Structure 1
Amino acid sequence: MTTTSPAQDPDTLPTSFGVFKPVGHVMVGLPTQSEADALAVALQAAGWPRAAVQPFVPSDSAAELRALVDNAGPLAGFGHEITLLRRYQQLTAAGYRWLLVRVEDSRPAAAAAEIASACGATLAVHYRTLTVEDLIS
């Protein structure tokens, strides 16, 4: 039984200045697939609909992330988003699994990060309209 929605189509990934920026989502990084699966189950148990939890397959993610960094516009080099993308690339190369969790605002983002941390996540980043916030230190 699948606990997450299908992986996001790379052509529909939200961007700003050509850089991945999924406003209204928390990007969660987990060291193993079993932790990612456990997080998807835990989020659904906490009330997130299945469609609100989207996985990135590691082999696909590496290519997607590399393309996003390579195709970033000149203004992206000044933003935290490009730094995060490079961090995502390094972790993906180390075998990390990724979930993109849709959230309405800061409160559900914090709740998602708390659940993610309990499931083994080492990274949770909340993308807001004008800011990006690391939720797991």
Structure 2
Amino acid sequence: MKYLSPLLLAYEDRIREKEELILAHEEDMKNFRVQVEEVVNENEQMHQQLIKDSFVTTKEWQQLQSQAKLVLGENGILMEQLEIQQAKAKDSHNQHVQEVSKLTKQLMILEAKKQSHAEELLENQKQLESLRSTC
């Protein structure tokens, strides 16, 4: 008993502290519940006020919904058209790139031929000079 007595006192103190903490939290929860109920009531009042102030009838609401569906459909069609145009532009770009590379290759071949013809012309001019000098 001599050894358990201080432990039991400490245990009872801890239990008392926990109970006080629980009571404080319960009080906070009660206050929070009151605040939540006030917010719910305010939301309900605002909802009722919105319904009263609303000038949109059921028929108008249905028209708005059908118009929104039409707009969504049009947007879908426009997106498809945009994708098609982008694909066409990409294909056109690829064709142009291929043509440019093809023409570049032809240009390189022609420049090489020009160079060889220039060298050949130079040789022919040298031969002509030598033949002239011989003549």
Using structure 2 for the length normalisation, give the TM-score: 0.16
Task: Indicate the structure with greater helix content.
Answer: 2
Task: Indicate the structure with greater strand content.
Answer: 1
Using structure 1 for the length normalisation, give the TM-score: 0.16
Larger relative CO (CA 8 A, sep 6+): 1 or 2?
Answer: 1
Larger-gyration structure (1/2):
2
